[in-house]
Chain A
Amino acid sequence: KAGVTQTPRYLIKTRGQQVTLSCSPISGHRSVSWYQQTPGQGLQFLFEYFSETQRNKGNFPGRFSGRQFSNSRSEMNVSTLELGDSALYLCASSFESNTEAFFGQGTRLTVV
């Protein structure tokens, strides 16, 4: 059974640009959550999607958005990138919101 796949693994962008990250969940999982990890703030919840609907959103500015497709694959988008957006972005899939979560390897975003 394939795990959670995140692409790309590494990304370098310039301030002001936008970026799209992708997450393919484990087959059969309908919940996909996104997290930002930085040395200073640790892991923080961005948002959760379930059956193509955003169920919950963390305390991040509107520049951070996401969506989920009918096959449960999810994308997150960050517009007008800032230096502080440099982080490891992780997604996790689960069958339901409060069941065991399986994490991807993450996308390391560097904004220069």
Chain B
Amino acid sequence: KNEVEQSPQNLTAQEGEFITINCSYSVGISALHWLQQHPGGGIVSLFMLSSGKKKHGRLIATINIQEKHSSLHITASHPRDSAVYICAVYDMGAQKLVFGQGTRLTINP
């Protein structure tokens, strides 16, 4: 079993829909990251959080430390949001980032 599990693996939606991507982890962490990767490879850091909730534009990230679970929400989704979204946790024991397998999001116009 992977230390970081994301769901769903693939998600296709229509423009304007509300999107939720989930991340569960099994290790002790000090922080959780949500990353975005577009075709071509470059990765952009969207959020880094250790508790509560953060919001940036149409993106919202929440984390529940007790349940070891985080969600990334996209409101009013747009085709330009199409990308792979990756959850990563900083494993305090191993002292390294551990990554989920990613969620491939496609938003159709």
Interface size on A, residues (CB 8 A): 25
For the residues of A in contact with B, the DSSP-based class is strand
A 49-73 to B, binary, CB cutoff 8 A, 1 in contact else 0: 0000001101000000000000000
- B98 close to chain A: CB less than 8 A: yes
B 24-63 to A, binary, CB cutoff 8 A, 1 in contact else 0: 0000001101010000111111001000000000000000
Interface size on B, residues (CB 8 A): 23
User: Do A90 and B99 touch (CB < 8 A)?
Assistant: no
A 13-51 to B, binary, CB cutoff 8 A, 1 in contact else 0: 000000000000000000001010100001111001000
From the candidates B45, B90, B97, name the one contacting A102 in the complex (CB within 8 A): B45
Residue of chain A at shortest CB distance from B2? A42
Q: Are A103 and B40 also in contact (CB < 8 A) when A43-B99, A98-B31 are?
A: no
A48-B30 Cα distance, complex, nearest whole Å: 17
A108 partner residues in chain B, CB cutoff 8 A: 41
User: Do A55 and B99 touch (CB < 8 A)?
Assistant: no
Binding site for B on A (CB under 8 A): 33, 35, 37, 42-45, 48, 55-56, 58, 88, 90, 92, 97-106, 108
Give 11 new A-B contacts, CB below 8 A, not counting A55-B95, A98-B90: A42-B99, A43-B86, A45-B98, A48-B96, A88-B41, A90-B41, A98-B30, A103-B45, A105-B40, A106-B41, A108-B41
